[in-house]
Amino acid sequence: MVRILFVCHGNICRSPMAEFIMKALVRSKGLEEMFHIESAAVSDEEWGNPIYPPARRCLSQHGVVFDTSKTARTVTVADYDRFDLVILMDSSNRRWLKRIIPDDPEGKVHMMMMYAGSSRDVADPWYTGDFEETFSDILAGCEGLLDTLVGKV
């Protein structure tokens, strides 16, 4: 089983979008039993809050089913051992993650857009207000990630 943790700043927009987009892609291929997928934040400022309403609307508009009880949580040191991959949305997340998990000896930490063939960050809708752009970035990253992993599982 491949265990994936998607990470963004607050765990109310990008990382939960990635969690549920990836779950939808995995489900569409009948691979649910091969993956465990979660999301978390590098900050605790949104801890306990639900997915941001515009992110929920965007997922719904694209037919992506999500858990309405999902609430933000913060990455822990133990998550490094619990997950095979820690996928970050932007370079700021990488800096924040180093405060929680200083080292990556197993090479588990990756940037989301690398799976979409890009070195840029996932657009942050908290600042841009453009949830469609973020959805497109995350979908491309998740599709690339799944293509990469299906050959390995």
How much is the pLDDT for 97? 98
Quote the CA–CA distance of 94 and 99 in Å, as a whole number.
Answer: 9
Q: Read off the pLDDT of residues 61-91 as tens digits, 9 standing for 90 and up.
A: 999 999 999 999 999 999 999 999 999 999 9
Confidence class of residue 152 from pLDDT cuts 50, 70 and 90? Answer: low
Mean pLDDT across the chain, nearest whole number?
Answer: 96
Q: Read off the pLDDT of residues 36-59 as tens digits, 9 standing for 90 and up.
A: 999 999 999 999 999 999 999 999
Query: What are the catalytic residues?
Result: 8, 14, 124
Is residue 153 over pLDDT 80? no
Mean pLDDT of 20-34: 97
Residue type at position 80: Y
- CA distance readout (Å), 67 to 19, 44, 120: 10, 20, 29
Q: Read off the pLDDT of residues 109-148 as tens digits, 9 standing for 90 and up.
A: 999 999 999 999 999 998 999 999 999 999 999 999 999 9
The answer to whether the CB of 66 falls within 8 A of the CB of 56 is yes
Could you tell me the sign of the dihedral formed by the alpha carbons of 77, 122, 70, 46, in that order?
Answer: positive
Quote the CA–CA distance of 12 and 15 in Å, as a whole number.
Answer: 7
The answer to whether the CB of 8 falls within 8 A of the CB of 137 is no
Confidence class of residue 151 from pLDDT cuts 50, 70 and 90? Answer: confident
